[in-house]
Structure 1
Amino acid sequence: MSVFPLDLDQAAQHLMQDYPPAHELHLQFESWKVRLKTNSKELVDDLADYYGPFVAQAQESHVTVHAFETEPLNLDWDWTRKTPDPGKTKIKEAWVNLKGGRAVRKLITGMTFLFGGDYHLAVGPCVKNSNQIINFINNRHIQWHLEKGCLLGHAAGVSFEDKGLALAGFSGAGKSTLALHIMSLGAHFVSNDRLMVENKADETLMYGVAKLPRINPGTALNNPDLASVMPAEDKERFSKLPTKELWDLEHKYDAHIDECFGPGKFHLSAPMNGLFILHWTHSGEPMEIRRVNPDERRDLLAAFMKTTGLFYLPPQGDEEKDPPAEVYVEGLKKVAVYELFGGVDFAKAAELGMRFLKTGDVK
């Protein structure tokens, strides 16, 4: 396998010949449709369980993703290691541009992703790393929206009837936790960590990705609707921990929306009427909220802006760069933006979020 050429088409032909994809899974994310082809029945079963309500009957698709279950490829290419994101130190990815596309290698798992044009290929121990296959499929969905002119936001999203609210915050602020608290008050789920924002003449829309929220033990213990995600032995063990230690735990559970909140609660689009930016701390102070102008609060806007990363390839001929802050300011012109500051208070924030979804205001 180390003799693959730096040519996406030729590499794809080699892989399809060596690992014939005999199994399929069809998914539909509102109007976007994807077909997975793989040599692993186990992977199909795992992804069908994960995606649940988005599994569809066989149909024409926008994208076909091939996932080849095999040992990690040993590709003798001149890889460039990706600089870690701010605040991170571990180098997890390397990449190289190919004729016709790009290859990204996950340095920890050994998974390799090759994509460009009509090719979307995942190669390596796929079943063991099905979460990376999920991310790859969702990244294809994100690319489709960005090519239609959307902005990429780092936010969760919820909706109620004809209104939607995005939730952003710097790392660890609890946007997914807050989204689930608002759901417990009757809202629908739109997205966990990424939103694609479309600024139309008369309204702003937000689109989500089919990624289940990954919650920590503190979130599960403090929301009765999430009790089922935590095994009984974990519940007994973690409930004895101090609050600070509990929230700092690096232990996650996938929260299946339909299982926790009932069927039909995961919607992938909604109007984007508001944006809460979580700028709070575990200080014990009262939580406060105020409406802000994102053009004047670029420090807060940075929590919502999201770089596209290695898995986005701009359309042929376009320059590869992320939109500046000015573009986000323009994109949020019709959105009411609020800063939540002071102490962390999910119950109060959820109440305000639901009030906004029902009335269009937080008063």
Structure 2
Amino acid sequence: MQYLEALLLQIKLAHPLQSQGLRLNLLAYPIELYSTSKRVLEILDDYFGDLAETIQSGSSQGQVPKIHIYQVSEAESFIQHYPWEDWQREAGKTGRKDAIYDIEHLGQPVRFLQKVKTGMLFLQPMPNQHTLHAASFGDAEKHPNQIVNFILTQYLNHHLRNGWLLAHTSGMQLDGVGITFAGLSGGGKSTLMLHLLAQEAHQSRFISNDRLLLQQEGNSILMRGIPKQPRINPGTIVHNPKLHPLLSAREREEFLQMDSEELRYLEQKFDADVDRLFGAGCFLQEAKLDMLVILNWQLDPNLPTELNEVDIRQRKDLISAVMKTPGPFYADNEGFLKNGTLPEMDAYLQLLQNCRVMELSGHIDFDAAQHLVLQAVETQPL
């Protein structure tokens, strides 16, 4: 413990925070960001766009949550000093990604998390305590996406502590109908949503790409997005003209020359700024949820692509595609989430029992899927 306190003090003295910071005006949970690196703040300001505003240190009113971002190398010393426990990954995921180390600081539990591949280190305090701020240590300029994820995790955790459910889904509004798409990783939920966003004959808004917050509101379900730009693979980009600006003509041609299966599973991520690619005002922070579409299809050209309504209570095999664990940063007033904790199926079934649920099955065909979803939207009672 003495080593930890000495290290934190050393970092704060050697690397003072900039006097200016950023305030993110997120729904129901504004967050203030301060960093030792002006460049990091510039990157985050550009990323969050209209949601961000520049502020002076000490200008906030009330207990606004704060995140301190230290552009430092001392994280390596901390990581080597303590034993770490690998965080269990979800079914189907392999390889080491996150490792945790839990301690107490001034009588309060604190969780440290290291990103195994990048060496980034994150400090997560318990909720509703102000002696220690959430913080990151490492090369944030090189890995800004991990900082974005950490910021948005604070936003997500606040909602989960207030009764919201986390869904592993993308979300959009299409001709006034709120739709969320679920499917196993790589199943195409983001690709399908982005194809529908590109339908210029229809009014569409982007809400969320991979994680969505859901809550009962009267007889309806409210969905609230995580304001994160979609991170997509080249296979999604090359077949969607609206996304072509993300690649040079030469890069697109090189990807198109690849085998379709190889391209489909190529892990090379690009950030898609929806307001810049699909038009200003495309992003919508929340909307009513009307329809859940679960992608349960496969690469078999002999099967017809179909979209059929299902009773989710009778098709519990599909609900796993919707459920999502809060992850290692989550804590409630009782403590941090334990390693290996799974989400509760009954909570999702109860929330979705009055939602229209559709199963997209058969052959993976995005053109056919768009047509089927648009047909379903036309028959959706508003």
In the superposition, the TM-score normalised over structure 1's length comes to: 0.91
Question: Which residue, 268, 271, 278 being the options, matches 1:261?
Answer: 278
Q: How many angstroms apart in 1 are the aligned matches of 2:7 and 2:171?
A: 38
CA deviation after TM superposition for structure 1 residue 337, in Å: 0.8
Partners in 2 of 1:47 and 1:263 — Cα distance?
A: 19
In structure 2, what residue type is equivalent to 1:50? Y
Distance in 1 (CA, whole Å) between partners of 2:265 and 2:117 is: 23
Q: Does 1:73 align with 2:91?
A: no
Aligned length: 357
2:255 maps to 1:241: no
Match in the other structure for 2:344: 324
CA distance in structure 2 between the partners assigned to 1:340 and 1:93 by the alignment: 33
| Alignment partners' CA distance in 2, 1:236 and 1:56 | 39
Q: Please give the residue correspondences for 1:1-363 in structure 2 after superposition, counting only pairs within 5 Å.
A: 3-5=3-5, 15-22=11-18, 23-58=20-55, 60=61, 62-71=64-73, 72-75=75-78, 76-99=81-104, 100=108, 101-116=110-125, 117=127, 118=130, 119-160=133-174, 162-185=176-199, 186-284=203-301, 285-316=303-334, 322-360=342-380
Q: Which letter does structure 1 place at the counterpart of 2:193?
A: A
- Partner deviation per Cα, 1:103-144 (whole Å, 9 max, x = no partner): 111122111111113421111111111111000001011001
CA apart distance, 1:13: 5.2
CA distance in 1, matches of 2:329, 2:275: 29
What is the CA deviation profile of residues 72-109 of structure 1, one whole-angstrom value per residue up to 9, with x for unaligned ones?
Answer: 33222232122333223311211122222211111221
The whole-number CA distance in structure 1 between the counterparts of 2:43 and 2:213 is: 26
Q: Which blocks of at least 5 consecutive residues in structure 1 are unaligned?
A: none
Per the TM alignment, residue 157 of structure 1 is displaced from its structure 2 partner at its CA by 0.3
Residue pair 1:258, 1:266 contacting (<8 A) in 2 also? yes
2:150 partner SS: helix
Is the partner of 2:4 in helix, strand or coil?
coil
Residue pair 1:197, 1:206 contacting (<8 A) in 2 also: yes
Task: State the SS of the aligned residue for 1:294.
Answer: coil
Hey, what's the Cα distance between the residues in 2 that align with 1:242 and 1:277?
27
* CA shift in 2, pair 1:46/1:17, >3 Å: same
Report the alpha carbon displacement of residue 57 of structure 1 after superposing the two structures with TM: 4.9
Q: CA–CA distance in 2 between the matches of 1:176 and 1:170?
A: 11
Q: Which one-letter code corresponds to 1:70 in the other structure?
A: V
TM-score with structure 2 length normalisation?
0.87
Deviation at 1:313, TM superposition (A): 1.1
State which drifts further: 115-124 or 78-87.
78-87
Q: Helix, strand or coil for the counterpart of 1:139?
A: helix
Q: Deviations over 1:268-309 (max 9, x none)?
A: 211111110000112123211111122221211001001111
Residue 163 of structure 2 contacts residue 215 of structure 2 at CA under 8 Å; is this kept in 1? yes
| More displaced 10-residue stretch of structure 1: 322-331 or 38-47 | 322-331
3-state SS in 1 of match to 2:191: helix
CA-CA distance at 1:226 after TM superposition = 0.9
DSSP 3-state at the match of 1:73:
helix
Structure 2 counterpart of 1:18, one-letter code: A
Measured in 1, the distance between the counterparts of 2:272 and 2:311 equals 34
1:253: how far off? 1.5
Percent of pairs identical after alignment?
33
Alpha-carbon displacement from aligned partner over 1:150-195 (angstroms, at most 9, x marks no partner): 0110000001354310000011101111110111123110001001
Residues 327, 84 of structure 1: alpha-carbon distance in 2 compared, 3 angstrom cutoff: closer
Tell me how far apart the structure 2 counterparts of residues 54 and 248 of structure 1 sit (CA, whole Å).
Answer: 33
- Alignment root-mean-square deviation, CA: 2.2
Alpha-carbon spacing, 1:161–1:17, altered in 2? closer, same or farther (3 Å): farther
Asked if structure 2 preserves the Cα contact closer than 8 Å seen for 1:164 and 1:357, the reply is no
